[in-house]
Every structure is written in C-alpha cells, then in structure tokens.
C-alpha cells in the first residue's frame, strides 16, 4: 500500500464518522440483504440491465458537471441501438442530488430500495459520495467508478464493492508540482484548494515533490462562497508565480477572472476536475478566455486530443444521441465512464451477478480507454495512477507529451500508452 493512501485514511476518519452518523438510521432500517450475490441479480432481466447514479444537475457544481450523465446516457443509447451488451440494453437512472450529501442519501436509497438497480455508476462528488459509501457496501451494491479523485474509493478491504474512476488527487497534485519544478525550477509555487479532501490531497501530492512546507502559500475556499478575492489577493501578495488549483471548474474560472481584475497574471496549473478548457470558456466568455487561459496547464488521463480516434467517435455519438450538446471534456469523461461500465458488464458474462461484476473488475483484465493502464486488481480499486500534462495554446487544449506516474511516494516520468479504439467503441463487438 502506498504511503499517500495510508495517510489519507487517517485524515478522512472524521468525515467517515460523520457519514456513518448520518447513515445510522438507514443502516438500521435497511440491513444487508443477506443474500448470496452469486444467486441474486437485482436490476437484471433477460433484456435489460438497470443501473443508477447521483449527479449535481442543480446546485453549486451543476454548471461544471451536469452534462456528464447526459454524455453517459448518449453512449448507452449508442450501445443499445447496436445490440446492447450480451444482448441486454443498459437502462440508466439519473437522480439529482444538488451536490448535497443529505439529498445524495435519499436518492441513492431510492435507487437501491425502490428502483432495485444492479449497480451505482459514477456517483459524483467527494462529500456527496462519502455519505453513501458505507450504505452501498453494507448492501453489497457495486459502487462503480466514482466521479471524484479521493483516495477513499481505493480501500478494497473496507469497501470491496467500491471502485474509483478518476486519477486520485494525490497523483494529480504530485504531477502538477513535478511539472512546475521541471518547467520553472525557481518559481514560487502556491496552491488554491477546496476546503475538503480535494484540497487536502492535492496539497499532500504537491508536498511529495516540494517537501513539507514547500508550497509558499496555501489558500482554501468553500463552494458556498462565490468570492475568492481575499484568497487571490493573499497569493498575489505572497509573490506566487505558479498557482496549483484544487478547484472545480467554476472556481477555476473564478480564480483566473479574479486575478485578472487585480492585475495579477501567474501561471495556472489545475487538477483535471477543474481544468476543462471548453467548460472554462463557458464561464469566462469566448473573448476573454483565450487571453486569460493561454498556457493554462492541467492534468488528464482520458483520450480527449482533438485529432484522436476516441474523440472522433464520441463527437459522433454526441451529435447523434445527445441532441448536439456542446462537446467538451465532460462529454469525453461521461462517455469514457459508459465505455468502462460496458466493458465490465461484458466481462461479467451472459448471466451477470453483482459479485460477478465486482470480480470482473478486480480481475485486472479491464482495459478502459485511457492514456495509461488501469490499476484495478484484487488489492487495488484505484483506476489511474498517472496523468498526462495538457496545455492550452491558441484556444486548443492538448497533451504536451509529458506523462507522470506516482510509484509509491516518488513521481516518475513514463510513456503514455493510449488504448486504441476497437469494435466501434462497443465492448464485445466484432
């Protein structure tokens, strides 16, 4: 086990305890089913597999992320029209939690107890998904490919039914800090981060490279306060030259825009969670964004290059099955999640069970469509342990050819290994 994961488990103890308290009445009223997962397959019929998710369709995270589930649905529509997986169509139930943990608990219980879904897929958000983590595992519901970079999802002994999707925040923080050191070795490096595990873990990763206290200034924000003037002003006063961002897209744009108003123009290095250029353009405007985001640096682990074969397929699916919605990093993310679930379902066989689905992922045989191999295995529920570096140049965001992986507590430069497109993007297709 890597040290960064062990460290995080200590830091989330309070969060987990709070979530357990919130779920206490649920655990009492809805105990584990007691059924053998090999004998029960809720949500599965001869013709369909029904799964569900909680997403912020409204609330503080909606502007940056509400389009993800629509992209996943569009991918499933494409698969279903082409015969489904093992002859079954995928039905995807999306429920809005408003990025509110209490609402997340309500909608996830509805999905499990009333809708009887086969699995939960890509539930979004660290605080929101933490609130249902115990419940899903106690009830032996596959909790797949969580939409958050928290290392909480990689605890196979404690949470055997939960699997990550994002590269974790420690990996991203370490990669951003390493790129800052490699490109600007004498720069003053600082960080603006969300005031939760997201910010904590990016700091943790950055300090693996910079050393404890190596960040000259660390400022935190709350998603409930749409004003970061004080934080950006403090970073300007501290002489910060490279600012790492543990921010969601809306707060990335807010930070960049606020700095510009203050006449402050540092280099911005963002986590993938807040680094999607088309989404940022939506916040900053088409006139201002290209100027403020020239040279903007971010991490990614998915195939979003403008001339890539996966991008071409996903753009086609978006046009045909998603009402021509704007095509951006959220589109690629949502469809990549759908592809990985389809791959896992295909591997689970003609008569899928919940345990069989978990076993298929834990086998380590899944490939996904990322730029690096997946890390799933019997003792790892992490997805990607490395990321590529992207930059924005003249309004185009693409990989620069630098890829980092976290090996233990050391950052290593590695070669990207993009997964080629096969079977028209449908697992099991000939």
CATH number of the domain that 216 lies in?
3.40.50.2300
Lowest average pLDDT, out of 211-215, 301-305, 349-353, 374-378, goes to 301-305
Output the CA torsion 49→55→58→62 (10° steps): -130
389: which strand partners? 299
Say if 406 falls within a structural domain.
Answer: no
Q: According to the model, what pLDDT value does residue 199 have?
A: 96
Residue of higher predicted confidence among 64 and 175: 175
- 201 and 124 inside one domain: no
51 in the same domain as 116: yes
425 in any annotated domain:
no
Give 184-225 pLDDT, tens digit per residue: 999 999 999 999 999 999 999 999 999 999 999 999 999 889
Percent of the chain with pLDDT strictly greater than 90: 86
Question: Same domain, yes or no, for 270 and 375?
Answer: no
Q: What is the average pLDDT across 372-383?
A: 97
The answer to whether residues 284 and 321 belong to one domain is no
Q: So what's the pLDDT on residue 27? A: 41
State the Cα–Cα distance between residues 66 and 385, nearest whole angstrom: 26
What is the residue-wise DSSP string for 267-306? EEEE-GGG--HHHHHHHH-TTTHHHHTTT-EEEE-S---T
Indicate whether 421 belongs to any domain.
no
pLDDT of residue 205: 98
pLDDT at 243 over 80: yes
Mean confidence (pLDDT) of the chain: 91
Mean pLDDT, residues 295-312: 94
What pLDDT score was predicted for residue 324? 82
* Per-residue confidence band for 38, with pLDDT thresholds at 50, 70 and 90: very low
Mean pLDDT value of segment 89-95: 98
Do 79 and 198 share a structural domain?
Answer: no
- Structure-block tokens of residue 143: 């909790």
Give me Rg for the CA atoms of the chain: 21
Q: How is residue 40 written in tokens?
A: 């029960």
In angstroms, rounded to a whole number, what is the distance separating the alpha carbons of residues 118 and 401?
Answer: 39
Note the pLDDT of residue 32: 37
**CB proximity list for 272: less than 8 A, separation 6 or greater:** 149, 166, 167, 172, 298, 299, 300, 301, 329, 387
> What are the beta bridge partners of residue 53?
94
* Confidence bin at 9 (pLDDT 50/70/90): very low
**Once rounded to an integer, what is the mean pLDDT over residues 373-389?**
97
Q: Confirm if 289 and 263 have CB atoms less than 8 A apart.
A: no
Residue 405 lies inside a defined structural domain of this protein: no
Rounded to a whole number of angstroms, the distance between the first and last alpha carbons of the chain is 38
Whether residue 189 contacts residue 240, with contact meaning beta carbons closer than 8 Å, is answered with yes
Residue 24 has pLDDT above 70, yes or no: no
Structural domain contains residue 397: no
If asked whether residues 143 and 249 sit together in one domain, one would say: no
Average pLDDT over residues 332-341: 98
Query: Which of 4-8, 88-92, 265-269, 301-305 is predicted least confidently?
Result: 4-8
Domain count, the chain: 2
339 and 274 inside one domain: no
Per-residue pLDDT at 430: 57
pLDDT interval class at 305 (50, 70, 90): confident
Cβ-contact 68, 99 below 8 angstroms: no
User: The dihedral of CA 176, 177, 181, 185: what is its sign?
Assistant: positive
The confidence score (pLDDT) of residue 180 equals 98
Q: Is the domain of 24 the same as that of 152?
A: yes
pLDDT band at residue 428 under the 50/70/90 scheme:
confident
Percent of the chain's residues with pLDDT above 70: 90
Report pLDDT digits (tens) over 311-321: 999 999 999 99
Cβ pair 384, 375 in contact under 8 A: yes
* 141 and 18 together in one domain: yes
* Token duo for residue 13: 């103890």
| pLDDT confidence tier of residue 335, bands split at 50, 70 and 90 | very high
Q: What is the mean pLDDT of residues 4-17?
A: 40
188 and 163 part of one domain: no
- Of the pLDDT bands very low, low, confident and very high (cuts 50, 70, 90), residue 333 is very high
Residue 389 lies in a domain: no
Helix locations, 82-192, DSSP H: 101-109, 126-130, 133-138, 169-183
Structural domain boundaries enclosing 191: 169-300
**Residue 255 lies inside a defined structural domain of this protein:** yes
Minimal CA–CA distance to 416: which of 393, 390, 387?
Answer: 387
User: What pLDDT is recorded for position 429?
Assistant: 75
Transcribe 391-417 into DSSP letters.
EEETTEEEEEEEEEEEETTEEEEE---
- State whether 76 and 14 are in the same domain: yes
Domain boundary among 344, 359, 384: 384
131 and 220 assigned to the same domain: no
Q: Confidence class of residue 21 from pLDDT cuts 50, 70 and 90?
A: very low
The two tokens of residue 177 are: 């800090």
């Amino acid at each position: 086990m890597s040290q960064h994961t062990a460290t995080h488990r200590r830091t989330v103890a309070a969060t987990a305890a709070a979530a357990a308290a919130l779920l206490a009445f649920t655990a009492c009223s809805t105990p584990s089913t007691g059924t053998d997962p090999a004998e029960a397959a809720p949500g599965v019929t001869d013709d369909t597999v029904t799964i569900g998710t909680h997403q912020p369709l409204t609330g503080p995270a909606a502007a940056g992320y509400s389009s993800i589930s629509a992209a996943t649905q569009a991918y499933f529509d494409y698969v279903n029209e082409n015969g489904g997986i093992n002859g079954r169509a995928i039905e995807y139930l999306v429920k809005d939690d408003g990025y509110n943990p209490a609402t997340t608990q309500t909608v996830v219980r509805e999905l499990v107890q009333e809708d009887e879904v086969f699995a939960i897929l890509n539930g979004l958000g660290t605080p929101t998904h933490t609130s249902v983590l115990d419940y899903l595992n106690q009830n032996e519901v596959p909790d797949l490919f969580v939409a958050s970079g928290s290392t909480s999802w990689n605890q196979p002994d404690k949470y055997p039914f939960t699997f990550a999707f994002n590269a974790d925040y420690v990996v991203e923080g370490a990669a951003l800090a390493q790129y800052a050191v490699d490109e600007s070795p004498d720069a003053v490096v600082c960080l603006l981060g969300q005031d939760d595990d997201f910010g904590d873990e990016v700091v943790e990763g950055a300090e693996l490279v910079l050393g404890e206290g190596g960040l000259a200034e660390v400022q935190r924000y709350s998603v409930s306060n749409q004003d970061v003037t004080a934080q950006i002003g403090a970073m300007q006063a501290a002489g910060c030259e490279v600012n790492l961002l543990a921010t969601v897209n809306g707060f990335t744009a807010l930070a960049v825009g606020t700095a510009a108003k203050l006449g402050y123009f540092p280099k911005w290095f963002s986590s993938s969670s807040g680094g999607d250029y088309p989404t940022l353009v939506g916040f900053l405007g088409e006139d201002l964004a290209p100027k403020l985001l020239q040279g903007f640096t971010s991490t990614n682990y998915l195939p979003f290059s403008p001339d890539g074969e996966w991008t071409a397929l996903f753009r086609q699916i978006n046009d045909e099955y998603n009402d021509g919605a704007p095509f951006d990093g959220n589109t690629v993310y949502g469809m990549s999640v759908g592809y990985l679930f389809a791959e896992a379902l295909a591997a689970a066989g003609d008569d899928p069970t919940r345990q069989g689905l978990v076993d298929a992922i834990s086998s380590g045989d899944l490939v996904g469509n990322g730029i690096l191999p997946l890390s799933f295995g019997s003792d790892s529920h992490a997805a990607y342990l490395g990321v590529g570096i992207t930059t924005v140049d003249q309004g185009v965001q693409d990989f620069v050819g630098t890829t980092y992986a976290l090996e233990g507590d050391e950052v290593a430069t590695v070669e990207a290994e993009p997964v080629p497109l096969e079977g028209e993007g449908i697992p099991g297709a000939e």
